[in-house]
Amino acid sequence: MTIGIIWINHHVMIDRLKKTDHTILILNLLLLMSIGIIPFATELMASYLRQPRGEAVAAAVYSGSFLVMSVLFATLNRHVMLRKANMLAEELPLEQRRRILSRVVTGLIPVCGGHGPWPLSSPYIPWRSVRPWRCSTPSRWPAGSTGRRRIASRQKEKERR
C-alpha cells in the first residue's frame, strides 16, 4: 500500500514533464533506489518487533529509509518546479509551482517532525521517538513507556548477575 501511494505521487510528478535532463534522471534514479530499500527496512523492522534487542536500530533504519526517500522526492520536485520549469508539459505560474512544492515539502513533516513515520507513532511502540538524525535514548522516551520499563528491567537483571 505504501509503495503504491509513493508510485502514484511519483507518476503525477513525472507526468508533469514533457522532457528530462541528466539531473532529473539521476535524481529520479536515486529516488527509485530509495523506494527499493523500503521493503528491506520494513522486513527488518518487523523481524525486530518481538526481539529483546535491536528494535531501536531497526526503527532508525526504517524511519531513515522514509526520510531519505522523502528528501529525494522533495529534491526532485524542487528541481523540476523551480529550476527546470521550462521542461514542464504545461506552463504553470510560479505561484502554482510553489504551492505544489509546499505540499511536497509539507509531506516531510510527519517524517522529520515529532515522531517519525506514522507506523512508529503508535503508542504501542516504545521507540516511537527514534529519529535517524539523533540518538534516541531511553531518557527521551515518554514517562512510563513500555520501552523505558523494559530497559530498567534489563538493567536490574544485569545488576543481579
Residues shown for the chain:
161
- The sign of the CA dihedral 1, 109, 8, 22 is negative
> Which of 26-35, 50-59, 132-141, 149-158 bottoms out in mean pLDDT, i.e. has the lowest?
132-141
pLDDT digits (tens, 9 = 90+) for 26-52: 999 999 999 999 999 999 999 988 888
12, containing H or E segment? helix 2-15
CA gyration radius, the chain: 20
Q: CA-to-CA distance for 56 and 135, rounded, in angstroms?
A: 9
**Would you state the pLDDT for residue 27?**
95
Query: Which residue do the cell numbers 532508525 mark?
Result: 60
Average pLDDT over every residue of 44-65: 87
Residue 116 has pLDDT above 80, yes or no: no
Nearest to 66 by CA among 24, 5, 140: 5
DSSP structure class, residue 126:
T
C-alpha span between 69 and 11 (Å, rounded): 15
Task: Report the mean per-residue pLDDT for the chain.
Answer: 76
Please indicate whether residue 36 or residue 160 has the higher confidence score (pLDDT).
Answer: 36
105 pLDDT tier (thresholds 50, 70, 90): confident
User: How many CA atoms does the CB half-sphere of 76 hold within 13 Å?
Assistant: 26
Residues 20-33: tens digit of each pLDDT: 999 999 999 999 99
Q: Which of 126, 110, 133, 115 is nearest to 55 (CA)?
A: 126
**Which of these ranges, 34-43, 83-92, 127-136, has the smallest mean pLDDT?**
127-136
Q: What angle do CA 155, 160, 161 make, to 5 degrees?
A: 100
